[in-house]
Structure formats: C-alpha cells, structure tokens
Amino acid sequence: MKYLLNDQQSERLIFQEISLADYPEWLTFHQDPRSSLHWHSEKEDSEIACKKWYKKQFHRYENNLGGMNALIEKASGKFIGHCGLLVQQVDDYMELEIAYSLLPEFWRNGYATEAARKCRDYAFAHNFSESLISIISLTNKPSENVAIKNGMALDKVTIYNNNSVNIYRVRKTEWIKYSQSASVPS
C-alpha cells in the first residue's frame, strides 16, 4: 500500500492503518456540525457519512491510491483523527494531497501541522512526487494555516467536488532548500 505512513511516528503522534475499531470515535466527527462547516455538499446522516468515509479509505488502500492513517496520541494512546497522502484528480491532473481531519477536541494543539509535516517529509524522502497539495475550502482558515505552516503557498482557486477550494502547494525543490537551511547551524 504505497503512500501510507503505517508505523511512522512524529514527536507526539503514531501513524497507523485505519481500523473499524476507531469507528465509534470517528462517528463523533461526523456528528459534530463544525466538522462539515466548510464543505458545501448535501448533508447526510452521520452514520451513512461515516460508513461511506471508511468504504472510501479501504478502496484507496486496495487500489494504491494512498489513504488516511489513524493518528494516535503517544502520551495518552487516544485516537485523535486522521492524516495521510491521497491520490486526487484536480482539474484533470493527478496530484498527491496531504489531507488531515482531527476530532474537534484535538483542534488548535498543533497536531494537524505536526502530522502534515510528517506526511510532507515522508512523501518527498520517498520520491513520491515533485510537489504536494492540500485541498482547502475557501472558508477554512484553520486548515489554510496548517498548509502555510507546512511550507505551502496558495497555488490556485478551483472547483473540487462541487466546492470552491484553494489549492495549496509545496514543491520538493522548496522543501530541499528549507531542509538544508534548517540543518545548517547559524
């Protein structure tokens, strides 16, 4: 399963393959109206939406299209959300996206930024792509901030799944320059 960060770790997080055992916690994400605030799509029953979400992730796994990893907080062992590398078609081009979704109780703790950076570093270190994107609703400022902290810049505005979105991008050449300058003592 290419693109998955199974058994990878960051400072505070463990990346694992998703599991239906996390379904009850992830259902609460779909039940919280703040979680879908920025996507303008038909509202579904939370149970149906959660089941579709898992079905889509397992389809990604089986078809080498990347997929989300479950994020486990090291300190507590708690499941806190998902982050991963997803193969996406945007404006007729195949792109590799860094995607992240956390349970609301874990928002604003730097976990999304930490997980997104791990995905970026992993993807570039394994030569998966020359650039990475994040697809972010025009109104989702917190996710936009995560993308910026991940070294991304606004690339374009487009329509994705019937939503107006910003496409944030980071290129491998920029990541290499940043990585080299960060490792040089001042």
Percentage of residues in the chain having pLDDT higher than 70: 90
Examine residue 1 and state whether it is found in any structural domain, yes or no: no
CATH number of 109's domain: 3.40.630.30
Please give the single-letter amino acid code of residue 142.
P
pLDDT for the residue numbered 183: 55
Half-sphere exposure of 5 (CA within 13 A, CB side): 30
Structural domain that includes position 128: 13-183
Residues 86-132: tens digit of each pLDDT: 999 999 999 999 999 999 999 999 999 999 999 999 999 999 999 99
Reported confidence tier of residue 186, pLDDT bands at 50, 70, 90: very low
Examine residue 7 and state whether it is found in any structural domain, yes or no: no
Checking if the pLDDT of 5 tops 70, the result is yes
Examine residue 87 and state whether it is found in any structural domain, yes or no: yes
Distance CA 93, CA 39 (A): 22
Distance CA 12, CA 166 (A): 28
Supply the DSSP string of 136-156, one letter for each residue.
EETT-HHHHHHHHHTT-EEEE
pLDDT for the residue numbered 178: 76
CB burial class (10 A; 0-12, 13-18, 19+) of residue 162? Answer: exposed
